[in-house]
Structure 1
Amino acid sequence: MATPTVLVLRSPGANCDEETAHAWRLAGAQAERVHVNRVLEAPELLDGYQALCVPGGFSYGDDIAAGRVLGNQLKLGLADALRRFRDAGKLVLGVCNGFQVLVNTGLLDLEDESGQLASLTWNNHGRYEARWVRLGVDPGRCVFLQGLDRLELPIAHAEGRIATRGGDALGRLVDDGRVVLRYRGAQTDAGDSVLPFPANPNGSVGNAAGLTDSSGRVLGLMPHPERFLFATQHPTWTRRRAEGGFDPHADGDGLRLFRNAVAYFG
Protein backbone atom coordinates (compact mmCIF):
# COMPACT_ATOMS: atom_id res chain seq x y z
CA MET A 1 0.00 0.00 0.00
CA ALA A 2 1.25 3.47 -0.86
CA THR A 3 1.91 5.81 2.04
CA PRO A 4 -0.15 8.97 1.45
CA THR A 5 1.18 12.31 2.59
CA VAL A 6 -1.15 14.58 4.53
CA LEU A 7 -0.89 18.32 5.12
CA VAL A 8 -2.37 19.19 8.52
CA LEU A 9 -2.95 22.93 8.39
CA ARG A 10 -1.69 24.98 11.32
CA SER A 11 -3.08 28.42 12.11
CA PRO A 12 -3.18 30.72 15.16
CA GLY A 13 -5.62 29.21 17.67
CA ALA A 14 -6.16 25.91 15.87
CA ASN A 15 -5.04 23.74 18.76
CA CYS A 16 -5.84 20.20 17.58
CA ASP A 17 -3.17 19.87 14.90
CA GLU A 18 -0.80 17.68 16.95
CA GLU A 19 -3.34 14.99 17.81
CA THR A 20 -4.85 15.14 14.33
CA ALA A 21 -1.45 14.54 12.73
CA HIS A 22 -0.95 11.68 15.22
CA ALA A 23 -4.24 10.13 14.11
CA TRP A 24 -3.17 10.19 10.46
CA ARG A 25 0.17 8.60 11.36
CA LEU A 26 -1.49 5.83 13.37
CA ALA A 27 -3.64 5.11 10.32
CA GLY A 28 -0.54 4.70 8.16
CA ALA A 29 -0.11 8.12 6.57
CA GLN A 30 2.83 10.50 6.62
CA ALA A 31 1.42 13.66 8.18
CA GLU A 32 3.12 17.04 8.35
CA ARG A 33 1.93 20.14 10.16
CA VAL A 34 2.29 23.18 7.92
CA HIS A 35 1.43 26.76 8.87
CA VAL A 36 -1.17 28.49 6.72
CA ASN A 37 1.24 31.35 5.98
CA ARG A 38 3.63 28.95 4.25
CA VAL A 39 0.84 27.66 2.01
CA LEU A 40 -0.39 31.17 1.22
CA GLU A 41 3.14 32.15 0.23
CA ALA A 42 3.67 29.02 -1.89
CA PRO A 43 0.39 27.36 -2.97
CA GLU A 44 2.42 24.81 -4.96
CA LEU A 45 3.22 23.15 -1.61
CA LEU A 46 -0.17 21.46 -1.90
CA ASP A 47 1.05 19.52 -4.92
CA GLY A 48 3.22 17.37 -2.67
CA TYR A 49 0.33 16.00 -0.61
CA GLN A 50 -2.53 13.57 -1.18
CA ALA A 51 -4.77 14.85 1.61
CA LEU A 52 -5.44 18.16 3.31
CA CYS A 53 -6.78 18.28 6.86
CA VAL A 54 -8.04 21.39 8.63
CA PRO A 55 -8.11 20.51 12.35
CA GLY A 56 -10.24 21.73 15.21
CA GLY A 57 -9.63 24.50 17.70
CA PHE A 58 -10.33 28.21 17.55
CA SER A 59 -8.56 29.58 14.49
CA TYR A 60 -7.84 33.30 14.95
CA GLY A 61 -9.84 33.16 18.18
CA ASP A 62 -13.05 32.64 16.19
CA ASP A 63 -13.16 36.42 15.73
CA ILE A 64 -16.18 37.56 13.68
CA ALA A 65 -17.48 33.96 13.58
CA ALA A 66 -16.08 30.47 14.01
CA GLY A 67 -13.68 29.63 11.18
CA ARG A 68 -14.55 32.78 9.26
CA VAL A 69 -11.11 34.43 9.20
CA LEU A 70 -9.20 31.30 8.18
CA GLY A 71 -11.94 30.34 5.74
CA ASN A 72 -11.71 33.73 4.05
CA GLN A 73 -7.92 33.49 3.95
CA LEU A 74 -8.15 30.19 2.10
CA LYS A 75 -10.94 31.36 -0.17
CA LEU A 76 -9.20 34.59 -1.16
CA GLY A 77 -5.65 33.31 -1.31
CA LEU A 78 -5.93 29.66 -2.32
CA ALA A 79 -9.28 29.16 -4.06
CA ASP A 80 -7.83 27.96 -7.36
CA ALA A 81 -5.16 25.80 -5.70
CA LEU A 82 -7.71 24.15 -3.41
CA ARG A 83 -10.09 23.41 -6.28
CA ARG A 84 -7.25 21.85 -8.28
CA PHE A 85 -6.29 19.82 -5.21
CA ARG A 86 -9.82 18.45 -4.79
CA ASP A 87 -10.41 17.89 -8.50
CA ALA A 88 -7.17 15.90 -8.76
CA GLY A 89 -8.86 13.13 -6.75
CA LYS A 90 -7.28 14.09 -3.44
CA LEU A 91 -8.98 14.15 -0.02
CA VAL A 92 -9.97 17.04 2.24
CA LEU A 93 -11.08 16.67 5.87
CA GLY A 94 -12.32 19.46 8.14
CA VAL A 95 -12.94 18.69 11.82
CA CYS A 96 -15.04 21.00 14.03
CA ASN A 97 -13.41 24.40 13.46
CA GLY A 98 -12.01 22.88 10.28
CA PHE A 99 -15.56 22.10 9.16
CA GLN A 100 -16.50 25.70 9.84
CA VAL A 101 -13.53 26.75 7.71
CA LEU A 102 -14.51 24.44 4.83
CA VAL A 103 -18.03 25.87 4.76
CA ASN A 104 -16.46 29.26 4.02
CA THR A 105 -14.12 28.00 1.27
CA GLY A 106 -16.69 26.55 -1.14
CA LEU A 107 -15.01 23.13 -1.16
CA LEU A 108 -18.18 21.45 0.19
CA ASP A 109 -20.29 22.47 -2.84
CA LEU A 110 -22.89 24.21 -0.67
CA GLU A 111 -23.65 27.03 -3.10
CA ASP A 112 -26.12 27.30 -5.94
CA GLU A 113 -27.47 30.16 -8.03
CA SER A 114 -29.43 31.46 -5.02
CA GLY A 115 -26.60 31.38 -2.53
CA GLN A 116 -25.51 29.00 0.21
CA LEU A 117 -27.62 25.93 0.99
CA ALA A 118 -26.27 25.40 4.51
CA SER A 119 -24.06 27.05 7.09
CA LEU A 120 -22.90 26.61 10.68
CA THR A 121 -24.14 28.84 13.46
CA TRP A 122 -24.57 29.06 17.24
CA ASN A 123 -25.84 26.07 19.19
CA ASN A 124 -29.51 26.44 20.02
CA HIS A 125 -28.84 26.93 23.73
CA GLY A 126 -26.22 29.59 22.97
CA ARG A 127 -23.39 27.91 24.89
CA TYR A 128 -20.23 25.94 24.28
CA GLU A 129 -21.03 22.23 24.54
CA ALA A 130 -18.61 19.33 25.16
CA ARG A 131 -19.95 15.77 25.40
CA TRP A 132 -19.97 12.39 23.69
CA VAL A 133 -22.59 11.77 21.02
CA ARG A 134 -23.98 8.84 19.08
CA LEU A 135 -23.96 9.11 15.31
CA GLY A 136 -25.72 7.31 12.50
CA VAL A 137 -23.69 6.98 9.30
CA ASP A 138 -25.04 7.08 5.77
CA PRO A 139 -21.73 6.98 3.88
CA GLY A 140 -22.93 7.13 0.30
CA ARG A 141 -19.90 8.20 -1.73
CA CYS A 142 -17.94 9.55 1.24
CA VAL A 143 -14.47 8.00 1.25
CA PHE A 144 -13.90 8.51 4.98
CA LEU A 145 -17.05 6.65 6.09
CA GLN A 146 -17.14 3.54 3.93
CA GLY A 147 -18.19 0.42 5.83
CA LEU A 148 -19.38 2.36 8.87
CA ASP A 149 -22.95 2.52 10.16
CA ARG A 150 -22.65 3.90 13.71
CA LEU A 151 -20.07 5.90 15.60
CA GLU A 152 -19.55 7.39 19.04
CA LEU A 153 -17.36 10.50 19.16
CA PRO A 154 -16.89 13.58 21.35
CA ILE A 155 -18.03 17.05 20.34
CA ALA A 156 -16.73 20.39 21.66
CA HIS A 157 -18.14 23.50 20.02
CA ALA A 158 -20.26 26.61 20.43
CA GLU A 159 -21.13 27.20 16.77
CA GLY A 160 -21.87 23.70 15.53
CA ARG A 161 -25.52 23.88 14.51
CA ILE A 162 -26.01 23.08 10.84
CA ALA A 163 -28.72 25.34 9.47
CA THR A 164 -30.17 25.36 5.97
CA ARG A 165 -31.65 28.36 4.20
CA GLY A 166 -35.15 26.87 4.18
CA GLY A 167 -37.39 25.56 1.45
CA ASP A 168 -36.10 22.30 0.04
CA ALA A 169 -32.43 22.90 0.92
CA LEU A 170 -32.22 20.08 3.48
CA GLY A 171 -34.12 17.70 1.20
CA ARG A 172 -31.76 18.46 -1.66
CA LEU A 173 -28.71 17.73 0.49
CA VAL A 174 -30.24 14.49 1.76
CA ASP A 175 -31.35 13.36 -1.71
CA ASP A 176 -27.88 14.07 -3.07
CA GLY A 177 -26.28 11.90 -0.38
CA ARG A 178 -24.54 14.86 1.21
CA VAL A 179 -25.77 14.41 4.82
CA VAL A 180 -23.51 11.54 5.80
CA LEU A 181 -23.53 11.85 9.62
CA ARG A 182 -26.51 12.42 11.89
CA TYR A 183 -26.91 12.62 15.64
CA ARG A 184 -29.01 9.75 16.92
CA GLY A 185 -30.71 8.75 20.14
CA ALA A 186 -29.76 5.85 22.35
CA GLN A 187 -31.97 3.41 20.48
CA THR A 188 -32.96 4.84 17.13
CA ASP A 189 -32.25 7.28 14.33
CA ALA A 190 -34.88 10.04 14.22
CA GLY A 191 -34.36 10.86 10.55
CA ASP A 192 -35.24 14.47 9.73
CA SER A 193 -37.15 15.05 13.00
CA VAL A 194 -34.82 17.05 15.24
CA LEU A 195 -33.87 15.09 18.33
CA PRO A 196 -34.04 16.83 21.71
CA PHE A 197 -30.95 17.90 23.62
CA PRO A 198 -28.57 16.24 24.45
CA ALA A 199 -28.91 13.57 21.72
CA ASN A 200 -28.71 16.43 19.24
CA PRO A 201 -26.35 18.71 21.17
CA ASN A 202 -26.76 21.84 19.05
CA GLY A 203 -30.16 21.67 17.32
CA SER A 204 -28.81 20.94 13.82
CA VAL A 205 -31.51 20.64 11.18
CA GLY A 206 -32.19 17.01 10.32
CA ASN A 207 -29.79 16.04 13.15
CA ALA A 208 -26.97 16.61 10.67
CA ALA A 209 -23.46 16.29 12.11
CA GLY A 210 -21.37 16.02 8.95
CA LEU A 211 -21.60 16.90 5.26
CA THR A 212 -19.68 15.72 2.21
CA ASP A 213 -19.20 17.31 -1.19
CA SER A 214 -20.64 15.91 -4.40
CA SER A 215 -17.54 13.78 -5.04
CA GLY A 216 -17.43 12.18 -1.58
CA ARG A 217 -13.76 13.16 -1.19
CA VAL A 218 -14.36 16.21 1.03
CA LEU A 219 -15.82 15.70 4.51
CA GLY A 220 -16.67 18.25 7.18
CA LEU A 221 -17.89 17.07 10.57
CA MET A 222 -18.42 18.63 13.98
CA PRO A 223 -17.46 15.60 16.15
CA HIS A 224 -13.75 14.98 16.77
CA PRO A 225 -12.53 11.62 15.39
CA GLU A 226 -8.95 12.37 16.48
CA ARG A 227 -10.11 12.25 20.12
CA PHE A 228 -11.22 8.62 19.97
CA LEU A 229 -8.32 6.64 18.56
CA PHE A 230 -8.11 3.96 21.27
CA ALA A 231 -10.84 1.94 22.96
CA THR A 232 -9.66 3.14 26.38
CA GLN A 233 -10.46 6.76 25.49
CA HIS A 234 -14.19 6.04 25.68
CA PRO A 235 -15.67 7.38 28.94
CA THR A 236 -17.32 4.03 29.81
CA TRP A 237 -14.44 1.73 28.92
CA THR A 238 -13.91 0.52 32.50
CA ARG A 239 -17.61 -0.38 32.77
CA ARG A 240 -17.43 -2.23 29.46
CA ARG A 241 -14.35 -4.10 30.66
CA ALA A 242 -16.18 -5.16 33.82
CA GLU A 243 -19.11 -6.42 31.74
CA GLY A 244 -16.75 -8.61 29.70
CA GLY A 245 -15.90 -8.89 26.03
CA PHE A 246 -14.05 -5.57 25.94
CA ASP A 247 -10.79 -5.40 23.98
CA PRO A 248 -8.59 -2.60 25.39
CA HIS A 249 -6.37 -2.81 22.31
CA ALA A 250 -9.17 -2.19 19.81
CA ASP A 251 -9.33 0.89 17.61
CA GLY A 252 -11.51 3.76 18.71
CA ASP A 253 -14.28 4.73 16.32
CA GLY A 254 -12.45 7.84 15.17
CA LEU A 255 -9.40 5.98 13.92
CA ARG A 256 -11.58 4.11 11.45
CA LEU A 257 -12.19 7.34 9.49
CA PHE A 258 -8.46 7.91 9.09
CA ARG A 259 -7.84 4.28 8.14
CA ASN A 260 -10.50 4.57 5.43
CA ALA A 261 -8.76 7.64 4.04
CA VAL A 262 -5.39 5.89 3.92
CA ALA A 263 -6.94 2.80 2.32
CA TYR A 264 -8.34 5.00 -0.45
CA PHE A 265 -4.79 5.47 -1.72
CA GLY A 266 -3.91 1.75 -1.47
Structure 2
Amino acid sequence: MTTTLGRSFRPEWFPVVRSEEVGPRHIHRSQLLNQELAIWRDDDGRVNAWENRCPHRGTRLSVGVNTGKAIKCQYHGWRFASQGGQCSLIPAHPDMKPSARYCVNTFECIEKYGYVWVRLEKGGDKEPLLTLSDDSSLTTLRSIYTMASATRIRDWLMSDCESACKAESLSLEISLSQIHQRHSFCVEALAFNNQDNESITIVIYLHPLTDEETVIHSLVNVDIPHEIRLEELRRYNRLFRTIRNVIETDHVR
Protein backbone atom coordinates (compact mmCIF):
# COMPACT_ATOMS: atom_id res chain seq x y z
CA MET A 1 0.00 0.00 0.00
CA THR A 2 1.33 3.44 -0.95
CA THR A 3 0.68 6.00 1.76
CA THR A 4 0.43 9.77 1.51
CA LEU A 5 4.06 10.05 2.62
CA GLY A 6 5.09 7.56 -0.05
CA ARG A 7 3.20 9.29 -2.86
CA SER A 8 4.55 12.71 -1.95
CA PHE A 9 8.23 11.83 -1.78
CA ARG A 10 8.73 9.00 -4.27
CA PRO A 11 10.51 11.35 -6.77
CA GLU A 12 13.06 12.43 -4.12
CA TRP A 13 16.50 10.90 -3.61
CA PHE A 14 17.15 9.10 -0.32
CA PRO A 15 20.31 7.41 0.97
CA VAL A 16 19.42 3.80 1.74
CA VAL A 17 22.77 2.22 2.69
CA ARG A 18 26.44 3.13 2.93
CA SER A 19 28.34 2.14 -0.21
CA GLU A 20 30.85 0.10 1.79
CA GLU A 21 28.02 -2.13 3.03
CA VAL A 22 27.13 -3.25 -0.50
CA GLY A 23 29.99 -5.65 -0.99
CA PRO A 24 30.75 -8.04 -3.86
CA ARG A 25 28.37 -10.99 -4.29
CA HIS A 26 26.13 -9.63 -1.52
CA ILE A 27 22.45 -8.61 -1.59
CA HIS A 28 21.42 -5.93 0.88
CA ARG A 29 17.77 -5.89 1.92
CA SER A 30 16.33 -2.44 2.60
CA GLN A 31 13.10 -0.49 2.46
CA LEU A 32 12.10 3.00 1.37
CA LEU A 33 8.69 4.62 1.81
CA ASN A 34 7.11 1.20 2.46
CA GLN A 35 8.74 -0.27 -0.67
CA GLU A 36 11.01 -3.29 -0.07
CA LEU A 37 14.32 -3.11 -1.93
CA ALA A 38 17.12 -5.48 -2.91
CA ILE A 39 20.38 -3.52 -3.28
CA TRP A 40 23.31 -5.29 -4.91
CA ARG A 41 26.55 -4.69 -6.79
CA ASP A 42 27.64 -6.62 -9.88
CA ASP A 43 31.22 -7.68 -10.60
CA ASP A 44 31.77 -4.51 -12.66
CA GLY A 45 31.02 -2.43 -9.56
CA ARG A 46 27.62 -1.19 -10.73
CA VAL A 47 24.91 -0.90 -8.09
CA ASN A 48 21.31 -2.02 -8.62
CA ALA A 49 18.20 -1.07 -6.65
CA TRP A 50 15.35 -3.49 -7.34
CA GLU A 51 11.94 -4.27 -5.96
CA ASN A 52 12.57 -7.14 -3.56
CA ARG A 53 10.24 -9.52 -5.36
CA CYS A 54 10.75 -12.10 -8.08
CA PRO A 55 8.24 -11.46 -10.90
CA HIS A 56 7.69 -15.22 -11.23
CA ARG A 57 6.30 -16.29 -7.85
CA GLY A 58 6.98 -13.30 -5.61
CA THR A 59 9.91 -14.71 -3.61
CA ARG A 60 12.19 -12.11 -2.01
CA LEU A 61 15.25 -11.63 -4.21
CA SER A 62 17.32 -10.67 -1.16
CA VAL A 63 17.41 -14.36 -0.15
CA GLY A 64 18.73 -15.30 -3.58
CA VAL A 65 22.28 -15.46 -4.93
CA ASN A 66 24.32 -12.61 -6.40
CA THR A 67 26.26 -14.32 -9.22
CA GLY A 68 28.15 -11.15 -10.11
CA LYS A 69 26.18 -10.67 -13.32
CA ALA A 70 22.66 -11.45 -12.15
CA ILE A 71 20.53 -12.36 -9.17
CA LYS A 72 19.50 -16.00 -9.02
CA CYS A 73 16.12 -16.44 -7.34
CA GLN A 74 16.21 -18.95 -4.50
CA TYR A 75 12.87 -20.54 -5.45
CA HIS A 76 13.13 -21.75 -9.07
CA GLY A 77 16.59 -20.47 -9.99
CA TRP A 78 15.44 -17.83 -12.45
CA ARG A 79 18.19 -15.29 -13.18
CA PHE A 80 17.72 -11.56 -13.64
CA ALA A 81 20.50 -9.54 -15.27
CA SER A 82 22.23 -6.54 -13.72
CA GLN A 83 20.99 -3.04 -14.57
CA GLY A 84 17.86 -3.81 -16.61
CA GLY A 85 16.50 -6.61 -14.42
CA GLN A 86 15.47 -8.69 -17.43
CA CYS A 87 15.18 -12.44 -16.90
CA SER A 88 18.19 -14.05 -18.60
CA LEU A 89 17.70 -17.73 -17.74
CA ILE A 90 14.90 -20.10 -16.75
CA PRO A 91 16.61 -23.36 -15.65
CA ALA A 92 13.56 -25.50 -16.47
CA HIS A 93 13.73 -24.21 -20.07
CA PRO A 94 17.42 -23.39 -20.67
CA ASP A 95 17.05 -23.11 -24.46
CA MET A 96 14.07 -20.76 -24.32
CA LYS A 97 14.54 -17.00 -24.48
CA PRO A 98 12.61 -15.58 -21.50
CA SER A 99 9.70 -13.29 -22.29
CA ALA A 100 10.28 -9.55 -21.86
CA ARG A 101 7.45 -9.50 -19.33
CA TYR A 102 9.64 -11.44 -16.89
CA CYS A 103 11.53 -8.42 -15.64
CA VAL A 104 12.20 -7.13 -12.14
CA ASN A 105 10.84 -3.72 -11.24
CA THR A 106 13.97 -1.53 -10.98
CA PHE A 107 14.58 1.91 -9.48
CA GLU A 108 17.08 4.65 -10.22
CA CYS A 109 20.12 4.57 -7.97
CA ILE A 110 23.42 6.42 -7.73
CA GLU A 111 26.47 6.36 -5.45
CA LYS A 112 27.40 9.72 -3.98
CA TYR A 113 28.77 11.09 -0.69
CA GLY A 114 29.56 7.55 0.47
CA TYR A 115 25.97 6.26 0.16
CA VAL A 116 23.77 4.44 -2.32
CA TRP A 117 20.87 6.79 -3.11
CA VAL A 118 17.53 5.63 -4.52
CA ARG A 119 14.41 7.32 -5.81
CA LEU A 120 11.23 5.43 -6.57
CA GLU A 121 9.94 7.69 -9.37
CA LYS A 122 11.49 10.07 -11.88
CA GLY A 123 11.24 13.78 -11.24
CA GLY A 124 12.98 16.48 -9.26
CA ASP A 125 16.77 16.77 -9.17
CA LYS A 126 18.87 14.71 -11.57
CA GLU A 127 21.00 13.46 -8.67
CA PRO A 128 21.32 14.01 -4.89
CA LEU A 129 22.47 17.54 -4.12
CA LEU A 130 24.19 18.54 -0.89
CA THR A 131 26.36 21.53 -0.08
CA LEU A 132 29.34 19.17 0.21
CA SER A 133 31.35 18.71 -2.96
CA ASP A 134 34.48 16.65 -2.32
CA ASP A 135 33.63 13.01 -1.53
CA SER A 136 37.23 12.31 -0.47
CA SER A 137 36.97 14.72 2.49
CA LEU A 138 33.81 13.16 3.94
CA THR A 139 33.32 10.54 6.64
CA THR A 140 30.08 8.57 6.82
CA LEU A 141 28.89 7.84 10.35
CA ARG A 142 27.03 4.83 11.69
CA SER A 143 23.37 4.75 10.73
CA ILE A 144 20.78 4.58 13.50
CA TYR A 145 17.38 2.84 13.28
CA THR A 146 14.49 4.61 15.02
CA MET A 147 10.86 3.77 15.70
CA ALA A 148 9.55 7.21 14.78
CA SER A 149 8.42 8.89 11.58
CA ALA A 150 10.85 10.90 9.48
CA THR A 151 8.67 14.00 9.85
CA ARG A 152 8.66 13.63 13.64
CA ILE A 153 12.46 13.35 13.76
CA ARG A 154 12.95 16.26 11.37
CA ASP A 155 10.61 18.49 13.38
CA TRP A 156 12.40 17.60 16.64
CA LEU A 157 15.80 18.32 15.13
CA MET A 158 14.60 21.69 13.85
CA SER A 159 12.71 22.81 16.96
CA ASP A 160 14.12 21.05 20.05
CA CYS A 161 17.57 19.59 19.38
CA GLU A 162 19.64 22.77 19.66
CA SER A 163 17.95 23.93 22.86
CA ALA A 164 18.42 20.46 24.36
CA CYS A 165 22.13 20.60 23.55
CA LYS A 166 22.47 24.11 25.00
CA ALA A 167 20.72 23.01 28.17
CA GLU A 168 23.17 20.08 28.33
CA SER A 169 20.22 17.75 28.67
CA LEU A 170 21.96 15.31 26.32
CA SER A 171 25.21 15.36 28.36
CA LEU A 172 27.42 14.21 25.49
CA GLU A 173 30.86 15.03 24.09
CA ILE A 174 29.32 16.39 20.87
CA SER A 175 26.47 18.89 20.57
CA LEU A 176 24.62 20.30 17.56
CA SER A 177 23.95 23.95 16.76
CA GLN A 178 22.97 26.22 13.84
CA ILE A 179 20.60 23.54 12.56
CA HIS A 180 18.81 24.31 9.31
CA GLN A 181 16.84 22.34 6.76
CA ARG A 182 18.37 21.66 3.34
CA HIS A 183 15.78 19.37 1.75
CA SER A 184 12.56 17.66 2.81
CA PHE A 185 14.36 15.21 5.09
CA CYS A 186 17.87 16.65 5.18
CA VAL A 187 19.25 18.98 7.83
CA GLU A 188 22.69 20.51 8.20
CA ALA A 189 24.30 21.62 11.44
CA LEU A 190 27.54 22.38 13.21
CA ALA A 191 28.78 19.51 15.35
CA PHE A 192 30.70 20.98 18.28
CA ASN A 193 33.20 18.77 20.08
CA ASN A 194 32.97 19.80 23.72
CA GLN A 195 36.37 18.26 24.50
CA ASP A 196 38.60 20.00 21.95
CA ASN A 197 36.35 23.04 21.25
CA GLU A 198 36.28 22.37 17.50
CA SER A 199 33.26 22.31 15.20
CA ILE A 200 32.64 20.73 11.80
CA THR A 201 29.71 20.56 9.40
CA ILE A 202 27.43 17.55 9.78
CA VAL A 203 24.69 16.53 7.36
CA ILE A 204 21.82 14.41 8.67
CA TYR A 205 19.57 12.63 6.17
CA LEU A 206 16.44 10.80 7.23
CA HIS A 207 15.58 7.58 5.43
CA PRO A 208 11.88 6.70 5.93
CA LEU A 209 11.53 2.92 5.89
CA THR A 210 7.81 3.07 6.66
CA ASP A 211 5.43 5.70 8.03
CA GLU A 212 6.67 5.00 11.57
CA GLU A 213 10.23 3.70 11.09
CA THR A 214 13.24 5.74 10.03
CA VAL A 215 16.98 5.30 9.65
CA ILE A 216 19.14 8.32 10.49
CA HIS A 217 22.12 8.57 8.12
CA SER A 218 24.80 11.18 8.69
CA LEU A 219 28.19 12.32 7.48
CA VAL A 220 30.73 14.95 8.46
CA ASN A 221 32.64 17.28 6.18
CA VAL A 222 36.08 16.00 7.14
CA ASP A 223 38.12 12.87 6.55
CA ILE A 224 38.59 11.68 10.14
CA PRO A 225 42.14 10.31 10.53
CA HIS A 226 42.36 6.55 10.86
CA GLU A 227 44.11 6.65 14.25
CA ILE A 228 41.19 8.45 15.94
CA ARG A 229 38.33 7.34 13.69
CA LEU A 230 36.98 4.58 15.92
CA GLU A 231 36.70 6.81 18.98
CA GLU A 232 35.15 9.64 16.96
CA LEU A 233 32.58 7.26 15.46
CA ARG A 234 31.72 6.10 18.97
CA ARG A 235 31.15 9.69 20.09
CA TYR A 236 28.77 10.40 17.23
CA ASN A 237 27.08 7.06 17.78
CA ARG A 238 26.41 7.99 21.41
CA LEU A 239 24.97 11.33 20.26
CA PHE A 240 22.54 9.76 17.80
CA ARG A 241 21.55 6.93 20.12
CA THR A 242 20.64 9.52 22.73
CA ILE A 243 18.71 11.56 20.16
CA ARG A 244 16.87 8.39 19.14
CA ASN A 245 15.97 7.59 22.74
CA VAL A 246 14.69 11.13 23.36
CA ILE A 247 12.57 11.12 20.19
CA GLU A 248 11.15 7.64 20.73
CA THR A 249 10.28 8.37 24.37
CA ASP A 250 8.63 11.65 23.44
CA HIS A 251 6.87 9.92 20.53
CA VAL A 252 5.34 7.32 22.88
CA ARG A 253 4.02 10.06 25.13
TM-score (normalised: structure 1): 0.30
TM-score, normalised via structure 2 length: 0.31
* Larger RCO of the pair (alpha carbons < 8 Å, separation 6+): 1
